Structure 1
């Protein structure tokens, strides 16, 4: 998730509070969050998924590291009541994510062992975990060393600690995620078939999204009035640039060396631009009326003098289905996969029992016995 670090306490704490949610909490939700008392003991259980506990020590350090990172970037201090709400909301998001991966891991193991006896299930789970650990050391550990720029294990452990993690935590999360992803991959088709009829229907229903204004691509040479003592000096400069481009055959080469507009470094090439979007109405009018592939006369507007060559133009209209068919297919595939994944998560809640300090955040979860003051 991205965040715009705008100056102001409210912006910072609201970002923290909303980091685990689609939007910030409502006033009622804020009062609810403020009433939550998170445990201080790292060994405190926050959730149990099947037979696997999730401890406070697995979640809280990452949350606190994220808060430190954000406050360090902004240099702001958050009032304690607001910080508490933000911290609780971040814990909720991190815990829900951990629960989901453990649910998928448990389901993957169940798929592998079927109706085997408990000891056989435990044996199979240990065997799968051993393979995942091996993969962690062979594949993931080298990536972590590269990410943090060190081959020294002690230094790597220290750097992970700054982010509220550790090698042990990284390994545990990697195993959960790997086995969980194997379960999802076995249940979901990531490339579902989308009938052409569905693509056409989507195109027709969203036809207004595919309407386009006239567009053009062009090359441009520019001199700015504010770079010269007077208009005559600017006019002499643009004439010299035009002559060099005309006889040298390359506006782009001249633009890179001498032009004074933002696209000069790219050879003065302006990619497809909609009509009416230019700040200079004079240039806009000329670009959409000049003959193609011919250098224009000198064009003057309030900022300077220009020579353009229009490379291509597209008339206003509706983008043909053939041009957007692949994009529509991807959108529909994403929707299909998202819906099936949501259904899969609901099915997991019926298959794997979950107890949580925040039961309302996980479908089918029950309140963790012995907890009070949590969101129900």
Structure 2
């Protein structure tokens, strides 16, 4: 086969994929579409699969390989996209029956996010054209995807609520995965946070207000009570408690402050893009295993999600059986 020794951009990959549908070689110039699968009486075209792959193309910024290697590299992506396209058809049908509606602004937000995967507008347009999409058909595809996603999330949430997790399930997971709950050092932390706008003058005012609160606490005021009353953090209702925190859990500069702060001392005022913070460490534990009673709080939602995903796959397999799926082409070549 002809050897490609030049760097192939993601938009070149898109053009390459489309060209393969014509003659089986990358040299083809005319795009000829074809049916690669069917969901009931609904045909799935090669271009449909390429369009489903569209959002993946931005992640392949440069590849250097032969044509044969290119096909081997892209075949798994093609198969995944074909499966997603089939599931999309099934879920879209369910969404339509349920009357699911996606607001236009949500669609525009998704398009904006998609454009960010490409280095510039021209690259985005090139890949768009290569996969047979127009701005209007892209919007329609995203609308269908988001409708399908809404149904998927709704079913998964339903299955999570219906999941039955016994105490023995939790205990067994803890025993089987004890290494996951070991720690070298952990910190019981409280945080006081005031959000601040980007305006420099207003940020200075917020910083000063937080510093005044810090001084009050240092002079003996109750951290928990003031946090409940005045903190903007989501943990305010818990008196600013972040619970047990591991090194690396917090953003900088909070993480660095955490690692250097003695127990029962207040940190300096710490600034992030969101506003101003200070911390207090209630307790430091060095080396150990999280007790089961604490660990089970994290284990239960994990097992619920796992059980829900299994139930979702069973539900989807049932819908697939009812949909009479036929796959005519499961690879690029």
1:43 aligns with 2:52: no
| 1:161 counterpart (120, 128, 132) | 128
Write the mapping of 1:101-250 to structure 2, written as runs, cut at 5 A: 101-106=88-93, 108=94, 128=97, 135-136=101-102, 138-144=104-110, 147=113, 158=125, 161=128, 164=131, 165=133, 166-175=135-144, 177-179=146-148, 181-182=150-151, 185=154, 188-191=158-161, 192-215=163-186
Calculate the aligned-residue CA RMSD, in Å: 4.7
Indicate conservation of the 8 Å contact 2:21/2:33, yes or no. no
Match of 2:82 in 1: 95
Deviation for aligned residue 1:269: 1.8
Q: Secondary structure at the match of 2:38?
A: strand
1:53 to 1:211, Cα distance in 2 relative to 1, 3 A: same
Q: 1: CA distance between counterparts of 2:256 and 2:149?
A: 50
Q: 2: CA distance between counterparts of 1:100 and 1:333?
A: 23
Render the CA deviation track for 1:324-364: whole Å, top value 9, x for unaligned: 222101110111011112212321232110111246xxxxx
Q: 1: CA distance between counterparts of 2:145 and 2:300?
A: 32
Match of 1:269 in 2: 257
Indicate conservation of the 8 Å contact 1:47/1:357, yes or no. yes
1:102 to 1:174, Cα distance in 2 relative to 1, 3 A: same
Render the CA deviation track for 1:8-58: whole Å, top value 9, x for unaligned: x9xx99xx9xxxxxxxxxxxxxxxxxxxx9522453111111121111222
Match of 2:194 in 1: none
Match of 1:337 in 2: 308
- Which runs of 5 or more structure 1 residues have no equivalent in the other structure? 1-8, 17-36, 110-124, 219-248, 250-262, 272-282, 295-309, 360-372
Write the mapping of 1:326-365 to structure 2, written as runs, cut at 5 A: 326-358=297-329
Q: 2: CA distance between counterparts of 1:202 and 1:311?
A: 29
TM-score (norm 1): 0.47
Q: Secondary structure at the match of 2:159?
A: coil
1:57 aligns with 2:47: yes
Q: 1: CA distance between counterparts of 2:168 and 2:328?
A: 46
Q: 2: CA distance between counterparts of 1:213 and 1:148?
A: 40
Render the CA deviation track for 1:100-157: whole Å, top value 9, x for unaligned: 1212334x38xxxxxxxxxxxxxxx6xx59x65xx446343442465479xxxx99x9
Q: How many aligned residue pairs are there?
A: 227
Q: 1: CA distance between counterparts of 2:33 and 2:321?
A: 28
Deviation for aligned residue 1:178: 1.4
- Which runs of 5 or more structure 2 residues have no equivalent in the other structure? 11-18, 23-30, 116-120, 190-217, 219-250, 266-280
Indicate conservation of the 8 Å contact 1:46/1:357, yes or no. yes
Indicate conservation of the 8 Å contact 2:54/2:127, yes or no. no
Q: Secondary structure at the match of 2:37?
A: strand
Indicate conservation of the 8 Å contact 2:165/2:304, yes or no. yes
Indicate conservation of the 8 Å contact 1:45/1:54, yes or no. yes
Deviation for aligned residue 1:159: 8.0
Q: Which has the higher contact order (CA 8 A, sep 6+)?
A: 2
Deviation for aligned residue 1:158: 4.3
TM-score (norm 2): 0.52
Q: 2: CA distance between counterparts of 1:214 and 1:326?
A: 20
For the pair shown, the structure with the greater C-alpha radius of gyration is: 1
Render the CA deviation track for 1:45-75: whole Å, top value 9, x for unaligned: 11111121111222225647855x4554x4x
